[in-house]
Amino acid sequence: MTPVRREILIVGRGGQGVLLLGRLLGLVASRYLNLYTSASEHYTSETRGGESRVDMVIADKPEEVYDFAGVSKPYLMIILYPYNIGEYLKLAREDTYLFIDKTFYQGEVSTPARVYALEYTRLAEKILNDTRVANILLLGHVLKVTGIMPLEYVKAGIAELLNPRYHELNFRALEAGFNLPG
């Protein structure tokens, strides 16, 4: 990853693995890319279903993350579920990579951003027979399109974060996403 300051917004529904994506990206950036990360997590009191969000910044110097109070100029936006999508889309700019799970949103995406809208959850069900890894499948696609992090580092991050019995499934999901057209 080029050493610059990059803001990442991940939005979804409780249970889709929004916070997991944030922790995975933060871990890989911190440990494997030697970058500095600051992230805040937002979620509701429901175990499943409420809006979950991660605001994150990744930079090459620690002082570059001190002033982070939330995403305002996103480099990457991941919308797993369209909560407040109208508001979040307002943040997107021409150089924003925007990934949307079309399984839950068929509406129009009016934005200057570079949009990648696929039915990630349906794909996860079709390819892996498990919708729980839709987040990781989408992340694989993000890696392919943006090159933000090497695939192998993310695999190492998955191996660190998750219970070993889920490693294989998540590796396959990541690769399935990475093999989607860029």
Q: Which stretch binds other proteins (CB under 8 A): 2-10, 30-38, 92-100, 171-179?
A: 30-38
Q: Which residues, in sequence order, are bridge partners of residue 37? A: 58
Burial code of 124-148, b = ≥16 C-beta within 10 A, e = fewer? bbebbeebbbbbbbbbbbbbbbbeb
Binder of other proteins out of 1, 38, 131, 167 (CB under 8 A): 38
Binder of other proteins out of 69, 90, 129, 181 (CB under 8 A): 69
Instruction: Give the CA radius of gyration of the chain.
Output: 15
Residue 146 interacts with other proteins (CB under 8 A): yes or no: no
**Residues ≥6 apart with Cβ < 8 Å to 165:** none
By the 8 A CB rule, do 135 and 80 touch?
A: yes
Which residue number, 21 or 124, has a Cβ lying nearer to other proteins? 21
Distance CA 165, CA 177 (A): 20
Which residue number, 67 or 108, has a Cβ lying nearer to other proteins? 67
Residue 41 interacts with other proteins (CB under 8 A): yes or no: yes
Residue 27 interacts with other proteins (CB under 8 A): yes or no: yes
Distance CA 138, CA 78 (A): 9
Size of the site for other proteins (CB under 8 A): 22
Which residue number, 25 or 123, has a Cβ lying nearer to other proteins? 25
Phi, psi of 99 (to 5 degrees): -110, 125
Q: Which stretch binds other proteins (CB under 8 A): 26-34, 103-111, 147-155, 171-179?
A: 26-34
- Give the nearest distance from C-beta 25 to other proteins in angstroms: 9
Locus of tokens 């696929």: 118
Give, in order, the Cα–Cα distances in Å from 152 to each of 5, 158, 173: 22, 10, 13
Binder of other proteins out of 14, 17, 26, 82 (CB under 8 A): 26
Which residue number, 12 or 82, has a Cβ lying nearer to other proteins? 12
Residue 62 interacts with other proteins (CB under 8 A): yes or no: yes
Site residues, other proteins (CB under 8 A): 22-23, 26-27, 29-31, 34-41, 62-63, 65-67, 69-70
